[in-house]
């Protein structure tokens, strides 16, 4: 069997120096039928290794589930890596950041209120031990010393930026070794003395994360990793985007120069990202450093391979650099990207949320408002309902909204409370009497910093006219399965209509159909829509928002079919009742 180890100067494969040329590719952000294509294009660019995080919360949506099927079939992904003759680096966390909701930690982990994450705490470590034992049948037999592709496993993730608990790191090592992992273990931190010192322990090989000034930052790493190979295991060749900001890009020239400097120094590399993919459904993360900033659906990352899996200018420039450090077949290259089909049509039917809400979940009764987490809900939307009889000039007050609330009275809109605006109060109409509804959207859980694990929904008390409001009915929307909505639309039930005057008024679900001669990637043009989410043939494409910068949603070819296809949107605000597709992605304006 192959032998891989960390030598005094180099990584060594079967006793020979081995420079890791890796690219990040997250299986959970790419349709599984496209994994092999993306991996092959990494090899064609000159890479010899694929790196992936493992998203614990995607595999374990509840404490009693562990899903390794479909797009979460990590074993199939690693087998695809091996089939392309490549190696693999696996980063199972348990915390991954990754701009992924909650940094990969399951929301249910926090419901006790006593768990202490990312430190030496018994409840947390017990959950991690169970998680790693669930991963063991996938990872252990696919290690390089057993004929598989896995050569390295990372312990935690940029831990030095968060804490300093060597006992915690030691116990993570023990858990990983106990399940049968025998390959070398690494850590990664930004090349700052305190982070490199706090983020690792003896016996773990330190690596760094950076995207520029390679020579200087490798020197900083060397000061804390005095022997063994140098590695930048997150070479940031792009960046992520927030709603309401610009689309981030990095220059091809600067990224290429920094990559060449890194490789010329003899260091190994993992490009973050080689191919970013998509935050399908409601999986995007968020940041909150005083202002809450949810991430967009696209995770294109300005990577060498774009969101739809096609080479960019950065791909070809990186390939030229990599050709100096590895042998490349000049004829083995990806083909050009075709234009996607352009379609246009109208939404044929629309139904207000009020008419289908009961088919999307079960109402429960509560004296005061529960959080989404207290209801066992980790993502999406929750509808809160109570009766009010308020005097003239009454104000609705909520301690905190996470993250966006549409307020209505007797079905008529009152206003919106948005976390990113720090909204907590809203004036109610004069002599407000009747049914108050607060429809709350979780826009993405914070993935970095001390706010990881915070609850979603309405937090604390809800008051009207200064008095706490009691006797609530609460309905979390189960949008993982839209069959309840489509059944109502199919039946033409009361409330189902054609769009009025060519427009959609939300919150409502609208449906359209379109035909294709054969499956192909599509880019759904969202510029005429307000805010919401979209599905094609039941597959959750993700969120859209007129705020931008992103104005298309990527539709992977395996999601569509030859013949008739179904598009459903959940529009929260207002939209034109037209759908269009574009020939290319539109990820919005850049800073320059």
Domain extent listing, the chain: 4-322, 344-352+480-582, 362-476
pTM for this prediction: 0.97
**pLDDT class for 193, splitting at 50, 70, 90?**
very high
Reply yes or no on whether 234 is catalytic: yes
Q: Which two tokens stand for residue 406?
A: 């549409």
- pLDDT, position 401: 98
Q: How far is CA 509 from its chain centroid?
A: 24
pLDDT of residue 591: 82
Residue 196 — φ and ψ, nearest 5°?
-65, -35
Residue tagged 């470590």 (tokens): 125
pLDDT at 553 over 90: yes
- The residue with tokens 């490798």 is 218
What's the sign of the alpha-carbon dihedral 106, 112, 118, 121? negative
Architecture of the CATH domain 362-476: Sandwich (2.60)
Backbone angles phi and psi of 500, in degrees to 5:
-90, 125
Mean pLDDT of 541-554: 98
Nearest to 452, CA basis, from 157, 107, 145 = 107
Mean pLDDT across the chain = 97
Contact 353, 482 (CB under 8 A): no
Of 2, 125, 111, 15, whose CA–CA distance to 63 is shortest?
111
Average pLDDT over residues 19-27: 99
Q: What's domain 4-322's architecture?
A: Alpha-Beta Barrel (3.20)
362 flagged as catalytic: no
What is the full DSSP assignment across 519-561?
---EEEE-TT--EEEEEETTEEEEEEETT-S--EEEE-GGG--
Q: What is the pLDDT of residue 360?
A: 95
CB 150 within 8 A of CB 139: yes
Residue 395 and residue 428: Cα distance in Å, rounded? 6
**Dihedral angle, C-alpha 94, 95, 97, 99, nearest 10 °:** 60
Q: Are 545 and 582 in contact (CB under 8 A)?
A: no
Residue 54 has pLDDT above 80, yes or no: yes
CB atoms within 10 A of CB 500: 10
Burial class of residue 494 (count of CB atoms within 10 Å of its CB; 0-12, 13-18, 19+): exposed
Spatial separation of the C-alpha atoms in residues 46 and 334, rounded to whole Å = 12
Q: Which two tokens stand for residue 286?
A: 């968020």
Rounded to an integer, the average pLDDT of 49-73 is 98
Compute φ and ψ for 70, nearest 5 degrees: 55, -125
pLDDT tens sequence across 472-531? 999 999 999 999 999 999 988 888 899 988 999 999 999 999 999 999 999 999 999 999
Provide DSSP, 36-77. Answer: HHHHHHHHHHT--EEEEE--HHHH-SSTT----SGGG-HHHH
Question: Are the C-beta atoms of 533 and 590 separated by less than 8 Å?
Answer: no
3-state helix, strand, coil in the chain (%, to 5): 25, 30, 45
Q: Please, which pLDDT band fits residue 592 given cuts at 50, 70 and 90?
A: low
CATH code for the structural domain at 344-352+480-582: 2.60.120.260
- Rg (alpha carbons) of the chain, rounded to whole number: 25
Q: What is the 3-state secondary structure (H, E, C) of 422-441?
A: CCCEEECCCCCEEEEEEEEE
Q: Is the pLDDT of residue 119 over 90?
A: yes
**Is there a contact between 558 and 519 (Cβ–Cβ < 8 Å)?**
yes
Give mean pLDDT, residues 423-436.
95
Separation between Cα atoms, residue 97 and residue 160, nearest integer Å = 13
Query: Token pair for residue 440?
Result: 């709350």
First-to-last alpha carbon distance for the chain, in angstroms, is: 52
Q: How far apart are CA 420 and CA 544, in angstroms?
A: 17
The answer to whether domain 344-352+480-582 and domain 362-476 are alike in fold is yes
The answer to whether 445 and 477 have CB atoms below 8 angstroms apart is no
CB 482 within 8 Å of CB 568? yes
Residue among 241, 248, 363 at smallest CA distance from 295: 241
Backbone angles phi, psi at 475, to 5 degrees: -135, 105
Q: Which of 579, 554, 443, 483 is nearest to 30 (CA)?
A: 554
Q: What is the mean pLDDT of residues 34-41?
A: 98
- Cis before 348 (ω within 30): no
Hunting for tokens 């089909």 — which residue is that? 341
Per-residue pLDDT tens digits for 234-272: 999 999 999 999 999 999 999 999 999 999 999 999 999
How many CA atoms lie within 13 Å of 71's alpha carbon, on the beta-carbon side?
19
- Sorted by sequence, the CB contacts under 8 Å of residue 275 that are 6+ apart come out as 23, 24, 25, 30, 38, 41, 42, 303, 304, 305, 306, 309
Query: Parallel, antiparallel, or unpaired for β 433-441 and 404-409?
Result: antiparallel
| Per-residue pLDDT at 393 | 81
Say which of 84, 234, 307, 571 is annotated catalytic.
234
Q: What percent of the chain has pLDDT over 70?
A: 100
The answer on pLDDT for 358 being more than 70 is yes
Task: Please report which confidence band the pLDDT of residue 227 belongs to, taking 50, 70 and 90 as the band edges.
Answer: very high
Q: What pLDDT score was predicted for residue 493?
A: 80
What b/e sequence results for 386-419 when a residue is b if at least 16 CB atoms lie within 10 Å of its CB, and e otherwise?
bebebeeebebbbebbbbbbbbbbeeeebebbbb
Q: Is 308 exposed, middle or buried (0-12, 13-18, 19+ CB in 10 A)?
A: buried
Q: Single out the catalytic residue among 51, 84, 99, 158.
A: 158
Report whether 315 contacts 256 (CB < 8 A): no
What letter does residue 286 receive in the DSSP assignment? E
Structure tokens at 404: 């966006």
Are 128 and 79 spatial neighbours (Cβ–Cβ below 8 Å)? no
Percent of the chain with pLDDT over 90: 96
3-class DSSP string for 72-139: HCHHHHHHHHHHCCCEEEEECCCCCCCCEHHHHCCHHHHCCCCCCCCCCCHHHHHHHHHHHHHHHHHH
């Amino acid at each position: 069997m192959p032998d891989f180890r960390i030598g005094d100067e180099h990584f060594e494969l079967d006793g020979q120096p081995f420079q890791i040329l890796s690219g990040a590719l997250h299986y959970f952000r790419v349709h599984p039928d496209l994994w092999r294509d993306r991996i092959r294009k990494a090899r064609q660019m000159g890479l010899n290794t694929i790196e992936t995080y493992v998203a614990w919360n995607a595999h374990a949506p509840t404490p009693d589930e562990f899903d390794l099927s479909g797009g979460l079939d990590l074993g199939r992904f690693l087998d695809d890596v091996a089939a392309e003759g490549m190696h693999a680096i696996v980063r199972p966390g348990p915390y991954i950041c990754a701009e992924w909701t909650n940094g990969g930690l399951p929301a249910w982990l926090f419901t006790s209120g006593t768990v202490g994450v990312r430190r030496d705490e018994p409840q947390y470590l017990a959950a991690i031990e169970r998680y790693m034992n669930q991963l063991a049948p996938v990872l252990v037999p696919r290690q390089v010393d057993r004929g598989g592709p896995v050569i390295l496993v990372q312990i935690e993730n940029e831990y030095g930026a968060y804490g300093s608990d060597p006992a915690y790191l030691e116990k993570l090592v023990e858990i990983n070794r106990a399940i049968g992992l025998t390959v070398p273990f690494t850590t990664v931190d930004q090349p700052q003395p305190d982070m490199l010192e706090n983020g690792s322990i003896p016996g773990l090989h330190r690596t760094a994360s950076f995207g520029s000034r390679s020579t200087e930052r490798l020197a900083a790493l060397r000061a804390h990793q005095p022997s063994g190979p140098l590695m930048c295991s997150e070479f940031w060749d792009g960046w992520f985007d927030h709603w309401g900001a610009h689309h981030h890009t990095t220059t091809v020239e600067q990224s290429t120069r920094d990559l060449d400097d890194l490789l010329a120094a003899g260091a190994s590399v993992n490009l973050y990202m080689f191919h970013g993919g998509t935050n399908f459904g409601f999986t995007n993360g968020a940041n909150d450093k005083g202002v809450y900033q949810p991430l967009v659906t696209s995770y294109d990352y300005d990577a060498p391979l774009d969101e739809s899996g096609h080479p960019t200018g950065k791909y070809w420039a990186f390939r030229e650099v990599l050709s100096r450090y590895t042998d490349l077949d000049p004829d083995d290259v990806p083909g050009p990207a075709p234009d996607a089909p352009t379609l246009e049509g109208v939404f044929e039917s629309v139904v207000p949320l009020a008419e289908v809400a009961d088919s999307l979940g079960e109402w429960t009764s509560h004296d005061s408002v529960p959080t989404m987490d207290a209801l066992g809900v980790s993502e999406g939307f929750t509808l809160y309902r109570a009766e009010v009889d308020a005097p003239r000039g009454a104000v609705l007050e909520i301690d905190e909204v996470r993250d966006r609330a549409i307020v209505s009275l007797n079905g008529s809109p009152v206003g919106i409370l948005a976390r990113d605006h720090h909204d907590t109060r809203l004036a109610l109409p004069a002599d407000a009497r009747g049914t108050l509804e607060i429809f709350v959207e979780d826009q993405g859980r914070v993935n970095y910093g001390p706010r990881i694990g915070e609850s979603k929904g309405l937090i604390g008390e809800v008051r009207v006219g200064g008095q706490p409001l009691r006797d609530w009915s609460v309905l979390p929307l189960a949008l993982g399965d839209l069959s309840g909505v489509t059944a109502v639309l199919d039946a033409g039930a009361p409330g189902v209509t054609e769009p009025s005057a060519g427009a959609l008024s939300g919150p409502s679900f609208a449906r359209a159909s379109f035909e294709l001669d054969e499956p192909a990637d599509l880019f759904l043009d969202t510029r005429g829509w307000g805010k919401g989410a979209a599905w094609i043939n039941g597959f959750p494409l993700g969120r859209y928002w007129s705020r931008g910068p992103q104005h298309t949603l990527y539709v992977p070819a395996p999601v569509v079919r030859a013949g008739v296809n179904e598009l459903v949107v959940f529009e929260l605000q207002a939209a034109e009742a037209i759908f269009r597709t574009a020939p290319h992605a539109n990820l919005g304006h850049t800073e320059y």
